[in-house]
Structure 1
Amino acid sequence: MIRTANALWTGTGRDGKGQISTQSGVLDGSPYGFNTRFENEKGTNPEELIAAAHAGCFTMALAFALQAAGFTATELKTDCAITLDKEGSGFKVSKSALTLTATVPGIEKEKFGEIAAGAKAGCPISKLLNAEISLDWTLA
Protein backbone atom coordinates (compact mmCIF):
# COMPACT_ATOMS: atom_id res chain seq x y z
CA MET A 1 0.00 0.00 0.00
CA ILE A 2 1.27 3.47 -0.88
CA ARG A 3 -0.35 6.71 0.27
CA THR A 4 0.68 10.06 -1.14
CA ALA A 5 0.67 13.74 -0.29
CA ASN A 6 2.35 16.77 -1.77
CA ALA A 7 3.58 20.15 -0.70
CA LEU A 8 3.95 23.27 -2.81
CA TRP A 9 6.10 26.16 -1.53
CA THR A 10 6.68 29.63 -2.94
CA GLY A 11 9.01 32.29 -1.57
CA THR A 12 11.63 32.29 1.15
CA GLY A 13 11.65 30.13 4.27
CA ARG A 14 10.36 32.77 6.67
CA ASP A 15 8.15 34.82 4.37
CA GLY A 16 7.12 32.11 1.93
CA LYS A 17 3.85 30.23 1.89
CA GLY A 18 3.02 26.60 1.31
CA GLN A 19 0.10 24.34 0.60
CA ILE A 20 -0.28 20.69 1.54
CA SER A 21 -2.63 18.28 -0.24
CA THR A 22 -3.33 14.60 0.31
CA GLN A 23 -4.30 11.79 -2.02
CA SER A 24 -7.68 11.40 -0.30
CA GLY A 25 -8.48 15.10 -0.70
CA VAL A 26 -8.96 15.61 3.04
CA LEU A 27 -6.22 18.21 2.78
CA ASP A 28 -6.54 20.14 -0.45
CA GLY A 29 -4.25 23.12 -0.65
CA SER A 30 -4.19 23.50 3.14
CA PRO A 31 -1.98 26.47 4.02
CA TYR A 32 1.22 26.16 5.99
CA GLY A 33 4.23 28.35 6.56
CA PHE A 34 6.51 29.85 9.18
CA ASN A 35 3.55 31.61 10.76
CA THR A 36 1.53 28.39 11.12
CA ARG A 37 4.51 26.44 12.40
CA PHE A 38 6.19 28.82 14.82
CA GLU A 39 3.34 31.22 15.50
CA ASN A 40 -0.40 30.62 15.81
CA GLU A 41 -1.73 31.62 12.42
CA LYS A 42 -4.54 29.60 10.85
CA GLY A 43 -3.25 26.64 8.84
CA THR A 44 -1.39 23.46 9.55
CA ASN A 45 2.23 22.45 10.11
CA PRO A 46 4.29 19.26 9.91
CA GLU A 47 4.28 18.66 13.69
CA GLU A 48 0.49 18.94 13.89
CA LEU A 49 0.18 16.45 11.04
CA ILE A 50 2.60 14.06 12.78
CA ALA A 51 0.55 14.38 16.00
CA ALA A 52 -2.65 13.55 14.12
CA ALA A 53 -0.99 10.61 12.37
CA HIS A 54 0.44 9.21 15.59
CA ALA A 55 -2.81 9.60 17.56
CA GLY A 56 -4.80 7.96 14.76
CA CYS A 57 -2.35 5.15 14.13
CA PHE A 58 -1.92 4.24 17.80
CA THR A 59 -5.67 4.35 18.48
CA MET A 60 -6.43 2.08 15.54
CA ALA A 61 -3.62 -0.32 16.51
CA LEU A 62 -5.03 -0.46 20.03
CA ALA A 63 -8.54 -1.22 18.74
CA PHE A 64 -7.17 -4.13 16.69
CA ALA A 65 -5.08 -5.40 19.62
CA LEU A 66 -8.07 -5.27 21.96
CA GLN A 67 -10.18 -7.12 19.40
CA ALA A 68 -7.51 -9.83 19.07
CA ALA A 69 -7.59 -10.23 22.87
CA GLY A 70 -11.40 -10.56 22.86
CA PHE A 71 -12.34 -7.02 23.94
CA THR A 72 -14.27 -4.25 22.25
CA ALA A 73 -13.71 -0.68 23.31
CA THR A 74 -16.71 1.54 23.80
CA GLU A 75 -14.44 4.53 23.27
CA LEU A 76 -10.74 5.22 22.77
CA LYS A 77 -9.69 8.88 22.76
CA THR A 78 -6.02 9.70 22.20
CA ASP A 79 -4.36 13.09 22.31
CA CYS A 80 -0.84 13.45 20.96
CA ALA A 81 1.62 16.24 21.70
CA ILE A 82 4.68 16.50 19.47
CA THR A 83 7.72 18.36 20.81
CA LEU A 84 9.92 20.23 18.35
CA ASP A 85 13.28 21.16 19.88
CA LYS A 86 16.17 23.22 18.58
CA GLU A 87 19.07 20.98 17.57
CA GLY A 88 22.25 22.64 16.39
CA SER A 89 21.33 25.01 13.59
CA GLY A 90 18.05 23.19 12.94
CA PHE A 91 15.22 21.44 14.73
CA LYS A 92 14.27 17.90 15.73
CA VAL A 93 11.04 16.18 16.72
CA SER A 94 12.24 14.87 20.07
CA LYS A 95 9.07 13.58 21.75
CA SER A 96 5.64 12.25 21.02
CA ALA A 97 3.42 12.12 24.10
CA LEU A 98 0.28 10.01 23.76
CA THR A 99 -2.51 10.53 26.31
CA LEU A 100 -5.32 7.99 26.16
CA THR A 101 -8.70 7.76 27.83
CA ALA A 102 -10.33 4.39 27.24
CA THR A 103 -13.61 2.71 28.04
CA VAL A 104 -13.29 -1.05 27.56
CA PRO A 105 -15.94 -3.18 29.25
CA GLY A 106 -14.72 -6.28 31.10
CA ILE A 107 -10.98 -5.67 30.91
CA GLU A 108 -8.69 -5.61 33.92
CA LYS A 109 -6.32 -2.69 34.35
CA GLU A 110 -3.14 -4.79 34.12
CA LYS A 111 -4.29 -6.53 30.93
CA PHE A 112 -5.26 -3.22 29.36
CA GLY A 113 -1.85 -1.75 30.21
CA GLU A 114 -0.09 -4.66 28.49
CA ILE A 115 -2.21 -4.35 25.36
CA ALA A 116 -1.80 -0.55 25.21
CA ALA A 117 1.98 -0.81 25.58
CA GLY A 118 2.08 -3.33 22.75
CA ALA A 119 0.00 -1.06 20.53
CA LYS A 120 2.31 1.87 21.30
CA ALA A 121 5.38 -0.16 20.32
CA GLY A 122 3.76 -1.81 17.30
CA CYS A 123 1.98 1.10 15.67
CA PRO A 124 3.66 1.91 12.32
CA ILE A 125 4.00 5.62 13.13
CA SER A 126 5.69 4.78 16.46
CA LYS A 127 8.14 2.65 14.49
CA LEU A 128 8.75 5.54 12.10
CA LEU A 129 9.51 8.19 14.69
CA ASN A 130 13.06 8.65 15.92
CA ALA A 131 11.82 10.26 19.12
CA GLU A 132 10.98 9.47 22.73
CA ILE A 133 7.43 8.10 22.83
CA SER A 134 5.42 8.17 26.05
CA LEU A 135 1.96 6.85 26.83
CA ASP A 136 -0.21 7.94 29.73
CA TRP A 137 -3.55 6.21 29.92
CA THR A 138 -6.72 6.19 31.96
CA LEU A 139 -9.19 3.33 31.91
CA ALA A 140 -12.69 4.63 32.60
Structure 2
Amino acid sequence: MKRKATALWNGDIKTGSGHLSTESTILNKTQYSFSSRFSEGAGTNPEELLAAAHAGCFTMKLDLDLTNAGFKVDYLNTESTITLENGRITLSELVLKAKISAITNEEFQKIAKNAEETCPVSNAFSFKIKLSATLIP
Protein backbone atom coordinates (compact mmCIF):
# COMPACT_ATOMS: atom_id res chain seq x y z
CA MET A 1 0.00 0.00 0.00
CA LYS A 2 1.17 3.50 -0.80
CA ARG A 3 -0.43 6.81 0.14
CA LYS A 4 0.37 10.24 -1.31
CA ALA A 5 0.26 13.82 -0.14
CA THR A 6 1.63 16.97 -1.74
CA ALA A 7 2.84 20.26 -0.32
CA LEU A 8 3.04 23.52 -2.26
CA TRP A 9 4.87 26.51 -0.76
CA ASN A 10 5.14 30.06 -2.11
CA GLY A 11 7.37 32.81 -0.77
CA ASP A 12 9.82 33.04 2.10
CA ILE A 13 9.49 31.15 5.38
CA LYS A 14 8.08 34.02 7.47
CA THR A 15 5.64 35.62 5.04
CA GLY A 16 5.02 32.81 2.59
CA SER A 17 2.34 30.19 2.78
CA GLY A 18 1.39 26.92 1.29
CA HIS A 19 -1.17 24.22 1.13
CA LEU A 20 -1.32 20.49 1.63
CA SER A 21 -3.41 18.01 -0.32
CA THR A 22 -3.89 14.28 -0.02
CA GLU A 23 -4.75 11.73 -2.63
CA SER A 24 -8.02 10.97 -0.80
CA THR A 25 -8.79 14.74 -0.90
CA ILE A 26 -9.56 14.78 2.83
CA LEU A 27 -6.92 17.51 2.81
CA ASN A 28 -7.61 19.61 -0.26
CA LYS A 29 -5.42 22.69 -0.50
CA THR A 30 -5.41 22.92 3.30
CA GLN A 31 -3.53 26.06 4.32
CA TYR A 32 -0.31 25.99 6.30
CA SER A 33 2.16 28.75 7.11
CA PHE A 34 4.83 29.90 9.55
CA SER A 35 2.03 31.36 11.66
CA SER A 36 0.01 28.13 11.74
CA ARG A 37 3.11 26.21 12.70
CA PHE A 38 4.72 28.45 15.29
CA SER A 39 1.82 30.52 16.67
CA GLU A 40 -1.95 30.46 16.45
CA GLY A 41 -2.48 31.20 12.76
CA ALA A 42 -5.21 29.62 10.66
CA GLY A 43 -4.38 26.34 8.98
CA THR A 44 -2.57 23.17 9.93
CA ASN A 45 1.06 22.19 10.40
CA PRO A 46 3.23 19.07 10.16
CA GLU A 47 3.16 18.42 13.92
CA GLU A 48 -0.64 18.48 14.02
CA LEU A 49 -0.75 16.02 11.14
CA LEU A 50 1.74 13.73 12.91
CA ALA A 51 -0.43 13.88 16.04
CA ALA A 52 -3.52 12.90 14.04
CA ALA A 53 -1.65 10.07 12.31
CA HIS A 54 -0.29 8.72 15.59
CA ALA A 55 -3.62 8.92 17.45
CA GLY A 56 -5.45 7.27 14.56
CA CYS A 57 -2.93 4.49 13.97
CA PHE A 58 -2.52 3.62 17.64
CA THR A 59 -6.29 3.56 18.21
CA MET A 60 -6.92 1.25 15.26
CA LYS A 61 -4.06 -1.07 16.29
CA LEU A 62 -5.38 -1.19 19.86
CA ASP A 63 -8.88 -2.02 18.64
CA LEU A 64 -7.46 -4.83 16.49
CA ASP A 65 -5.45 -6.23 19.40
CA LEU A 66 -8.40 -6.05 21.80
CA THR A 67 -10.74 -7.68 19.29
CA ASN A 68 -8.21 -10.44 18.59
CA ALA A 69 -7.96 -11.04 22.35
CA GLY A 70 -11.75 -11.49 22.53
CA PHE A 71 -12.76 -8.18 24.10
CA LYS A 72 -15.68 -5.97 23.08
CA VAL A 73 -14.68 -2.34 22.72
CA ASP A 74 -17.32 0.23 23.65
CA TYR A 75 -15.06 3.15 22.74
CA LEU A 76 -11.45 4.27 22.48
CA ASN A 77 -10.58 7.97 22.65
CA THR A 78 -6.93 8.84 22.02
CA GLU A 79 -5.29 12.25 22.01
CA SER A 80 -1.74 12.67 20.73
CA THR A 81 0.32 15.74 21.54
CA ILE A 82 3.48 16.24 19.51
CA THR A 83 6.23 18.33 21.12
CA LEU A 84 8.56 20.42 18.94
CA GLU A 85 11.60 21.78 20.83
CA ASN A 86 14.58 23.58 19.38
CA GLY A 87 13.70 22.54 15.84
CA ARG A 88 13.25 18.83 16.72
CA ILE A 89 10.22 16.71 17.42
CA THR A 90 11.03 15.17 20.79
CA LEU A 91 7.86 13.49 22.03
CA SER A 92 4.45 12.12 21.19
CA GLU A 93 2.22 11.84 24.24
CA LEU A 94 -0.71 9.48 23.79
CA VAL A 95 -3.56 9.91 26.26
CA LEU A 96 -6.11 7.13 25.97
CA LYS A 97 -9.50 6.80 27.60
CA ALA A 98 -11.25 3.53 26.91
CA LYS A 99 -14.39 1.67 27.81
CA ILE A 100 -14.06 -2.06 27.24
CA SER A 101 -16.32 -4.80 28.57
CA ALA A 102 -14.92 -7.51 30.87
CA ILE A 103 -11.22 -6.60 30.87
CA THR A 104 -8.94 -6.15 33.87
CA ASN A 105 -6.84 -3.01 34.10
CA GLU A 106 -3.69 -5.16 34.06
CA GLU A 107 -4.64 -6.83 30.77
CA PHE A 108 -5.81 -3.51 29.32
CA GLN A 109 -2.47 -1.84 30.13
CA LYS A 110 -0.54 -4.75 28.62
CA ILE A 111 -2.53 -4.72 25.37
CA ALA A 112 -2.40 -0.90 25.14
CA LYS A 113 1.38 -0.86 25.61
CA ASN A 114 1.82 -3.51 22.94
CA ALA A 115 -0.35 -1.49 20.51
CA GLU A 116 1.73 1.62 21.23
CA GLU A 117 4.93 -0.29 20.50
CA THR A 118 3.68 -2.04 17.35
CA CYS A 119 1.48 0.41 15.49
CA PRO A 120 3.15 1.38 12.19
CA VAL A 121 3.25 5.09 13.00
CA SER A 122 4.95 4.47 16.36
CA ASN A 123 7.53 2.38 14.55
CA ALA A 124 8.20 5.21 12.09
CA PHE A 125 9.11 7.63 14.89
CA SER A 126 12.58 7.90 16.42
CA PHE A 127 11.51 10.23 19.24
CA LYS A 128 10.09 9.30 22.65
CA ILE A 129 6.52 8.04 22.94
CA LYS A 130 4.68 8.27 26.25
CA LEU A 131 1.39 6.43 26.82
CA SER A 132 -1.14 7.17 29.55
CA ALA A 133 -4.06 4.72 29.38
CA THR A 134 -7.17 4.98 31.53
CA LEU A 135 -9.89 2.36 31.63
CA ILE A 136 -13.33 3.89 32.21
CA PRO A 137 -15.69 1.63 34.23
Determine if the TM-score, normalized by the shorter chain, exceeds 0.5.
Answer: yes
Does the Cα contact within 8 Å between 1:94 and 1:131 map onto a contact in 2?
yes
Give the superposition deviation at 1:97.
0.1
1:13 offset after TM fit, Å? 1.0
Is 1:27 the equivalent of 2:23?
A: no
The answer to whether structure 1 residue 124 and structure 2 residue 123 are counterparts is no
Equivalent position of 1:2 in the other structure: 2
Distance in 2 (alpha carbons) for counterparts of 1:134 and 1:115 = 15
How does the TM-score come out when normalised to structure 1? Answer: 0.96
What letter corresponds to residue 49 of structure 2 in structure 1? L
- Rounded Cα–Cα distance in structure 2 between residues aligned with 1:109 and 1:138: 8
Which residue of 2 is the match for residue 110 of structure 1? Answer: 106
| Aligned-partner SS, 2:39 | coil
State the match for 1:16 in structure 2: 16
Query: Which amino acid counterpart does residue 39 of structure 1 have in structure 2?
Result: S
Q: What stretches of structure 1 move > 6 A for 4+ residues in a row?
A: none
Match of residue 100, structure 1, among 77, 96, 99: 96
Deviation of 1:42 (Å): 1.2
Kindly provide the amino acid, as one letter, of the partner of residue 83 in structure 1.
Answer: T
Aligned Cα root-mean-square deviation (Å): 0.5
- Secondary structure of the residue aligned to 1:74 is strand
Instruction: Tell me if structure 2 keeps the 8 A contact 1:78–1:100.
Output: yes
Cα distance in 2 between the residues matched to 1:60 and 1:5: 21
Query: What does residue 52 of structure 1 align with?
Result: 52
Question: What percent identity do the matched residue pairs reach?
Answer: 45
